[in-house]
Amino acid sequence: MPPAGVAHNIAVCVIEKSYAGQALKVAHALWGAGQMSFNKFLIVLSAEDAEGVSGEGYADVIRERLHRFDPARDALFSRGVLDVLDHSAPQMGLGGKLCLDLTRKTAEEGGEVPYRESVPVEVVWDDFVKAAGLDFDDLVWLAAGNADPVRDVSVSAEGVLRLDARFKPEQVERGWPNVVTMSEEVIEAVDARWAKYGLGGDPLPSPSRKYLPLMRSHTAKL
């Protein structure tokens, strides 16, 4: 469960694959198992590709396997229970799920897709998000949090998986939360009092600064 997934939003699973459809079977099993049932985006890899990899290294394996990803064949959509904190779910605690089967494909599954120069995944952002200059992990965090797999993810006729990661306050009746940050005034006050706090050294950059461009109002909900 990478940090960008904030626990349940994203999970990466590695399997010793031995038969066709095993990744899909594992997805259904995990979505029916305890708190794993709250998972929203699940990525399944073959052990051969993930051998010796841990932590952030999984991102490189996923990127590489996405070059052989066929969205029309390898994306499994479902619905089920979700974390009640998932603000993008159509109903509280209930929404879409998506498994990306990035395992090596058997002959029965159609075999491996030839390596594609470009990854067949497209993410749609709000203009203010594109202007914010967020790093890759922040973009993954925002996309996973802002998208419901059934409502906001589709596969085009050209075989491209399209994910709508825009803010959608009009589509969720219970309201869309604002991004939580400290205000400029609070950030400047902490910086000015750094020495008084006895923390030593120069003030650490506030993590809130990079998220300030995402703020749409000064209230909890948009």
The pLDDT of residue 173 is 85
- What are 7-47's pLDDT values in tens digits? 899 999 999 999 999 999 999 999 999 999 999 999 999 99
Mean pLDDT (the chain) is 95
- What are 111-121's pLDDT values in tens digits? 999 999 999 99
For the chain, give the percent of residues with pLDDT over 90: 87
pTM of the model: 0.93
The segment(s) of the chain belonging to CATH 3.40.1670.10 are 3-169
Tell me the C-alpha distance between 40 and 95, whole Å.
8
The CATH number of 3-169 is: 3.40.1670.10
3-state secondary structure of 103: coil
The pLDDT of residue 172 is 87
Question: Alpha carbon of 21 to those of 4, 8, 18, 109: distances in Å?
Answer: 28, 23, 9, 7
Instruction: Give the CA dihedral 178, 184, 188, 189, nearest 10 degrees.
Output: -60
Task: Report, as ranges of residue numbers, the positions in the chain whose pLDDT lies below 70.
Answer: none
The pLDDT of residue 94 is 97
The pLDDT of residue 101 is 98
Tell me the C-alpha distance between 78 and 86, whole Å.
16
Question: Alpha carbon of 64 to those of 25, 29, 94, 166: distances in Å?
Answer: 23, 26, 32, 26
Tell me the C-alpha distance between 33 and 222, whole Å.
34
The pLDDT of residue 41 is 98
Q: Which helix (H) or strand (E) holds 10?
A: strand 10-15
The pLDDT of residue 54 is 82
The pLDDT of residue 176 is 94
Tell me the C-alpha distance between 113 and 69, whole Å.
7
